Amino acid sequence: MDEEVFLVVGDIIVHYEINEIGLLLKRFDVLADPRHPLWAWDILWVGRDAADYGRRQSFTEEGIIRLIVTGVFIHYKSI
């Protein structure tokens, strides 16, 4: 399943298994190395259990995309 997924600030992801909603706040390079970037996203989670797991979390961009493609996350583009 090769889908093109492009993430931008303001996109919303829904964690299908636990019904939590995440807002993509900021994209950043974990390694801070322009030669070999490792992109990640700062996510603000909201929902019933978000406080238990931490409202602010970071996921690698590759990880988020894989979770979207496999159906664990549902991706809603920002307007």
What is the tens place of the pLDDT at every residue in 32-56?
Answer: 888 999 999 999 998 777 666 678 8
The pLDDT score that the predictor gives to residue 17 is 82
The pLDDT score that the predictor gives to residue 13 is 97
The pLDDT score that the predictor gives to residue 18 is 82
The pLDDT of 65-72, averaged and rounded, is 95
The pLDDT score that the predictor gives to residue 1 is 47
The full DSSP string for 5-58 is: ----TT-EEEETTTTEEEEEEEEEESS--TTS--EEEEEEEESTTHHHH-SEEE
* pTM of structure: 0.86
